[in-house]
A and B are shown apart, each in its own frame.
Chain A
Amino acid sequence: MDDLLNNVVFIFLMATVAIVSARKFHFSSIPLLILLGVLAGPHAPHGAGFDFRLVKSTESAELFSRLGMLLLLFYLGLEFSAGRVIKSGVTILKGGTIYVTLNFLRGLGLGWLFFQSWPETLVVAGITTVSSSAIVTKILVELKRTANPETELILGIMVFEDAFMAVYLSVLSGYFLAQGTSFVVGLIAGLITVAFIFAVLGLGRFMSPYLDRWLNFRSGEPLIMVVFTLLLIMAVMAEKVGVTEAVSALLLGLVLAETSHAKRIIQLVAPLRDLFGAVFFFSFGMGIDCRQFAPVASLVLAAFGATIAGNFLAGIASAWVCGYRGRPLVNVASTLIARGEFAIIAAGLAGDSGSAGMLQPLAALYILLLSIISPVLAKKSRSIYLGLEKAWRLLSRKKTESFAG
């Protein structure tokens, strides 16, 4: 049988197994995809008598995975709308800012503590700051919390996080494009990327009536063709202009989000994103040697603990500012803990830069651990709240006693 097709069949077979079993066991699919990638990829365990290396990382696999990355970022751009962030209101703006700022600072601190060098610090911050919307929404639906009052805040914070990540990923990719130079040069490159994005956004708003007319197809077929081709052309052109293809995809998404066809494009692109996104996560796992897990284990545990603690702090603080009291505070904090797609994209952006060899296994193990613990924490938010309340009461009683004494 044709070797090329053979390999592709194995990749999709593995990805299907991961996604179907994730659905079956109420687990999130991204960590499973990565795990299977590690276990069946070119670095899989093998020896006399057994060989788990089912999948080779071939050119076709790489192509699919790159398309997956482009589509993931394109989708992020499409769904992002500045209007939605502003419309969500002052309270969510306040809560979101507090949440993202606290988590980002915690991420930066953690990164610096681990590596003492800027590129890794920025990537670690990218990996640990933003929650996974896919996992969080799933938790909310499964725990039947969608109608709870604090859910509005949780979802608002996630819109805010997506917006933050769109900007941050472009800074990061600009920074890595100017690799090998100093921190300042890198940062300037990042900022230039951001400026470029805002310029294109402005242009996009200006162009949206023309785009509206131009993309006005009655059936979906020509629309998805044009959009997908644009995505590829942008990715090729991006290299010439000096931005990464990731940013170009994000940008195209942002521009098309301004047109009146945005909703239709989202519907058309979503299945493509699911299909190739799965391959992206899977081949992210393929790139990891499971022996690499051992040296990063302690770092992962530290990041894991810091994320949970920091998330509780940030979640409770932002919910408190938004006027929530009591149990919803803990609900907000415990639901937002899962990390996922953005962590992987951030680690993927760091890609081949020399020092980053540790970052990818770190990201993989980190989101795996968090995705196991986060549904449990969200489910147990009631007992956590009661425990916290008891601790608080004990503490304050001690204080008053010492006052009296």
Chain B
Amino acid sequence: MGEIKEAELPGLGKKYVVRLDSGDRFTVVIYDEGNRELFYFADEEEPLCSVTLTDQEARQVGSIIGGAFYQPKLLEKLESAIAELHIEWLKIAPNAPLAGKSIGDLSLRKKYGVNIVAVIEDAEKGKKRTAAINPGPGYIFTPGQTVIAAARRDALEQFERMVSVEGG
């Protein structure tokens, strides 16, 4: 996981310095006017290159990076963390305990403190790829779907077991 430092730029906006595991450092500046500027630093002092995005472009690029359009095959499980909040993308295994049950049945929110942000159904023959965003309690999980869940660390670990193969 990269280390992220946040700093205020009074009159301009906010700055996020991201230090990656590889040692690289880049900085995102969000201007109060809405633009985002990305800087790549080779050394400590001056940025080597930069890119400016409008608010709209930044959101598009952000969702591409977040994997909303295409998820790498090798990484079934993606993880992103902001302080206590963890968001995970989990694929429902064929014989997962939760398959065939609805969100309400499992009382995910009440019992486990897990919020289902969205469920993505992969494109199959003749069918387009669809996403149920913020599904209601009646929504039934089926194997093969990708669930995006938000919760605290421990709650998510519990939820992960319900999504993966039983005993496995």
Give me the interface of A with B, judged by CB distance under 8 Å: 79, 84, 87-88, 133, 137, 140-141, 144-149, 151-152, 155-156, 158-159, 326-328
Contacts and interface: CB of A to CB of B under 8 A. Distances in A.
B46 to A, nearest CB: 7
A189 to B, nearest CB: 32
A137 B45 contact: no
B21 interface: no
A141 B36 CA distance: 12
Report the interface size class on chain B.
10 to 19
Contacts of A133: 11
Contact of B27 (A147, A156, A159, A326): A147
Nearest to B37: A146
Given A88-B8, A155-B9, 17 more contacts: A87-B8, A133-B11, A137-B12, A144-B50, A146-B29, A146-B31, A146-B39, A147-B41, A147-B50, A148-B46, A149-B45, A152-B7, A155-B10, A155-B11, A155-B12, A327-B46, A328-B45
Interface in B39-54: 39, 41, 44-47, 50
Most buried by A among B10, B27, B31, B47: B10
Contacts of B86: none
A323 to B, nearest CB: 13
A392 to B, nearest CB: 18
Q: Which 7 A-B pairs have the closest CB atoms?
A: A147-B27, A147-B39, A159-B10, A146-B29, A155-B10, A144-B50, A155-B9
A347 B31 CA distance: 32
Contacts of A328: 45
Given A327-B45, A328-B45, A146 B9 contact: yes
A151 B10 contact: no
A156 B15 CA distance: 14
B33 to A, nearest CB: 10
B156 to A, nearest CB: 33
A45 B165 CA distance: 88
Contacts of A156: 10
A257 B160 CA distance: 47
Nearest to A159: B10
Contact of B15 (A84, A144, A147, A158): A147
A148 B45 contact: yes
Nearest to B9: A155
Contacts of B8: 87-88
Nearest to B47: A147
A148 B26 CA distance: 11
A84 B10 contact: yes
B44 A151 contact: no
Contact of B12 (A79, A144, A146, A149): A146
Nearest to B52: A144
A148 B41 CA distance: 9
Interface string B1-36: 000000111111001010000000001010100000
Contacts of B10: 84, 88, 155-156, 158-159
Contacts of B7: 152
Given A146-B29, A147-B37, A140 B45 contact: no
B2 to A, nearest CB: 16
Nearest to A381: B46
A140 B50 CA distance: 14
Contacts of B29: 146-147
A144 B41 CA distance: 12
A148 B47 contact: yes
B11 to A, nearest CB: 6
A134 to B, nearest CB: 9
